[in-house]
């Protein structure tokens, strides 16, 4: 596996791959890899001739009071895992390299960035789109892989690629969970034992929503109330939002119909977790 830190070396390698006519799959991450990330890498490996992964804790997508400085990092272990999956190139860059003094561009999918997590994290999705656009320009992937764990991000990236006619297919893959149901996340490492235990109600509330929908409940508000009740039993959890939206458009769904995304965000102490479930009726 080639580990590349600077833009010019990366461009040179990509040029070689393109000249050879090889298909590139790309997996962008912020590192501290777990099985969720590795699912994306495995799929990229299966479907492409060359696999590029990136690790970059992107300062643009963190708010001033968020956990940028504390975000977990373990390059050595990440490299070991990516090598094991036979990744060809790891692009491991720095903010100085990607956003040098004077960097002034921004890419945004406007309305989708202001709802759900966007309400609580202003500027977050603009930061995501800007860095992902930049990585797409550098890596020129045929397909890029994203997790449904960050469902809003996935929909926004798809919309960005479509609206800006990017030459990349966006592929979403399902959430990988711990054995007890907690959605895998690099941020789970922040949770104390008791917090982690309480966090399990998030997935339980989503399962309840799924069960209600399967039992023909169509009133979104009622489903959300049921979920709220389950989560509020755990005193350590503060709900940011619970929403039910169309999975493709993120339009709000009042009466359950089609493919819906039941999504939530909550804080446990200082840790903000997101989770969701996609249900099709
Ligand atoms: P991150 O490193 O958190 O920015 O995540 C990088 C990519 O991995 C994103 O596309 C995430 O949606 C995806 N991802 C993170 N956690 C999971 C998970 N538990 N299951 C599937 N994909 C995930």
**Does 172 contact ligand 1 (Cβ within 6 A)?**
no
**Does 158 contact ligand 1 (Cβ within 6 A)?**
no
* pLDDT, tens digit, 9 for 90 and up, residues 40-73: 999 999 999 999 999 999 999 999 999 999 999 9
Dist. CA 30–CA 118, nearest whole Å: 19
CA of 243 to the centre of ligand 1 (A): 20
* pLDDT, tens digit, 9 for 90 and up, residues 234-255: 999 999 999 999 999 999 999 9
The DSSP letter of residue 174 is P
**What does the pLDDT read at residue 259?**
97
**What does the pLDDT read at residue 136?**
99
Q: Which residues contact 221 (CB under 8 A, 6 or more apart)?
A: 254
CA of 102 to the centre of ligand 1 (A): 30
Instruction: Classify strands 50-55 and 89-92 as parallel, antiparallel or unpaired.
Output: parallel
Dist. CA 155–CA 247, nearest whole Å: 8
Of 143, 127, 142, 137, give the one whose Cα is nearest residue 57: 127
**Does 161 contact ligand 1 (Cβ within 6 A)?**
no
Using the structure block, give the residue that is written with the tokens 């977790």. Answer: 273
* pLDDT, tens digit, 9 for 90 and up, residues 213-223: 999 999 999 99
The answer to whether residue 70 is catalytic is no
**Does 176 contact ligand 1 (Cβ within 6 A)?**
yes
Query: Ligand 1 pocket check: which of 149, 157, 175, 271 to mutate, most ligand atoms within 8 Å of Cβ?
Result: 149
* pLDDT, tens digit, 9 for 90 and up, residues 77-122: 999 999 999 999 999 999 999 999 999 999 999 999 999 999 999 9
CA of 267 to the centre of ligand 1 (A): 18
Are 239 and 264 a contacting pair, CB within 8 Å?
A: yes
DSSP SS3 for 239: strand
**Does 175 contact ligand 1 (Cβ within 6 A)?**
yes
Q: Long-range CB contacts (< 8 A, 24+ apart) of 44-49?
A: 44/143, 44/145, 45/85, 45/86, 45/87, 47/23, 47/143, 48/23, 48/24, 48/142, 48/143, 49/22, 49/23, 49/24
**What does the pLDDT read at residue 184?**
98
Point out the ligand 1 atom lying closest to the alpha carbon of residue 174: 21
**What does the pLDDT read at residue 75?**
98
**Distance (Å) of CA 249 to CA 156, 185, 253:** 9, 25, 10
Q: Is the pTM of this model over 0.95?
A: yes
Point out the ligand 1 atom lying closest to the alpha carbon of residue 147: 12
């Amino acid at each position: 596996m080639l580990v590349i830190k600077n833009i010019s070396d990366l461009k040179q390698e990509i040029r070689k791959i393109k000249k050879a006519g090889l298909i590139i799959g790309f997996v962008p991450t912020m590192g501290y890899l777990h099985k969720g990330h590795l699912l994306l890498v495995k799929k990229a490996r299966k479907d492409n001739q060359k696999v590029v992964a990136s690790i970059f804790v992107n300062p643009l997508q963190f708010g001033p009071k968020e956990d940028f400085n504390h975000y977990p990092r373990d390059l050595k272990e990440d490299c070991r895992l990516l090598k094991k999956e036979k990744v060809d190139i790891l692009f491991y860059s720095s903010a100085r390299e990607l956003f040098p003094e004077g960097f002034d561009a921004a890419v945004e999918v406007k309305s989708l960035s202001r709802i759900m997590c966007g309400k609580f994290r202003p500027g977050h999705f603009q930061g995501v789109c800007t860095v992902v656009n930049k990585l797409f320009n550098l890596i020129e992937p045929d397909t890029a892989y994203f997790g449904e764990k960050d469902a809003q991000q996935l929909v926004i990236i798809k919309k960005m690629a479509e609206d800006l006619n990017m030459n990349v297919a966006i592929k979403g893959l399902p959430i990988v969970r711990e054995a007890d149901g907690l959605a895998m996340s690099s941020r789970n490492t922040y949770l104390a034992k008791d917090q982690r235990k309480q966090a399990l109600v998030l997935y339980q509330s989503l399962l309840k929503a799924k069960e209600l929908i399967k039992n023909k409940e169509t009133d979104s508000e009622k489903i959300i109330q049921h979920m709220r009740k389950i989560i509020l039993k755990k005193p350590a959890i503060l709900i940011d939002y619970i929403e039910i939206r169309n999975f493709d458009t993120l339009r709000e769904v009042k009466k359950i119909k089609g493919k819906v995304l039941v999504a939530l965000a909550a804080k446990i102490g200082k840790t903000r977790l997101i989770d969701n479930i996609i249900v099709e009726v």
